[in-house]
Structure 1
Amino acid sequence: MPRFVLLRHETPTGAPRPSHWDFMCERNGELATWAIEQLPTAWAARLGMSVPDVANCTVPALPLPAHRLAYLDCEGPVSGNRGHVTRSDGGEYEVIAWEPGEVQLELHGERLAGRVNLTRDDPAADTWRLCVGAQDG
């Protein structure tokens, strides 16, 4: 099965993008990547983080250029003074659907498990959203 990883990317002061999570999925020899500024509540809870009073299962996801497979096992400084990454979770996934504008996956991670849907909201703006379904026990 293909692999996924969720990395916490702490960016330096003044960077063009604030600190965020990178959700990366192995596909065709590279990593399809989305930047997520706020984790869905279920993921935050599974990772042992404090969760907001109001639950959210859907969050904005910004598509990024494909990354190298090396990021599946990467932790530490990012080249070019682009910050530092820490692995939050990883594992394998099954593809339910992978079409232009819609990706449906079933995660089998160390802590994250269950259905994930990534849907493009506006093709012109290339805006996406990530929605987390039920988590496995």
Structure 2
Amino acid sequence: MARDPRPEPRFVLLEHRRDGIHWDLMLERDGVLKTWALDAPPSPGAEATARPLPDHRAAYLDYEGPISGGRGSVRRVDGGVYVPIEWADDRVRVRLEGRQLVGELRLTKRPRAASNDPDPEPGVWKISLGKVD
């Protein structure tokens, strides 16, 4: 079977400093970077909250430094390619092949809460990284 000539999509994990620190996980898809803000970098066996952000430009795959408009600065923590396993409106599963992040990454959107639900963050995503091979 012939290998698909298209390059594998890339990902990057950036440490974003602006009024504190968070991490931006960016997955290349359809010419943009689908992006989630994380309170902590992904680690095997740990689940964390991931807040969706607007799509970013592909330039962030290789960028480190200050962000225009006083929006802080970013430092590249890891990057590489990924293999898409599943991509739907409410869940994303990919296999990361980075220098540090290797394994299955799962993002799952929590359903919107009912109006009487005390959940303070309806519609956020959960992120987990499977065991490293």
TM-score (norm 1): 0.82
| Residue identity matched to 1:28 | D
Which of the residues 59, 80, 89 maps onto 1:91?
80
1:38 aligns with 2:40: yes
Tell me the distance in 2 between the aligned counterparts of 1:27 and 1:77.
24
Contact in 1 for aligned 2:67/2:74 (Cα 8 Å):
yes
Identity of aligned residues (%): 47
Partner of 2:4: none
Query: How far off is 1:126 after superposition?
Result: 2.2
After superposition, the C-alpha distances for 1:58-83 in whole angstroms (9 at most, x for unaligned) are 10000000000000001000110000
Cα gap change, 1:94 to 1:123, in 2 (>3 Å)? farther
Query: How far off is 1:85 after superposition?
Result: 0.2
> Which secondary structure does the structure 2 equivalent of 1:122 belong to?
coil
Matching of residues 50-65 of structure 1 within 5 Å: 57-65=46-54
Give the aligned CA root-mean-square deviation in angstroms: 1.3
Partner of 1:6: 13
For structure 2, list consecutive stretches of 5 or more residues without a partner in the other structure: 1-7, 114-121
Partner of 1:24: 26
Matching of residues 78-117 of structure 1 within 5 Å: 78-117=67-106
Which of the residues 120, 123, 127 maps onto 1:126?
123
Tell me the distance in 1 between the aligned counterparts of 2:23 and 2:43.
14
Contact in 2 for aligned 1:63/1:126 (Cα 8 Å):
no
After superposition, the C-alpha distances for 1:21-69 in whole angstroms (9 at most, x for unaligned) are 0000000000000000122443xxxxxxxxxxxxx51100000000000
For structure 1, list consecutive stretches of 5 or more residues without a partner in the other structure: 43-55
1:67 aligns with 2:74: no
Q: Which has the larger radius of gyration?
A: 2
TM-score (norm 2): 0.84
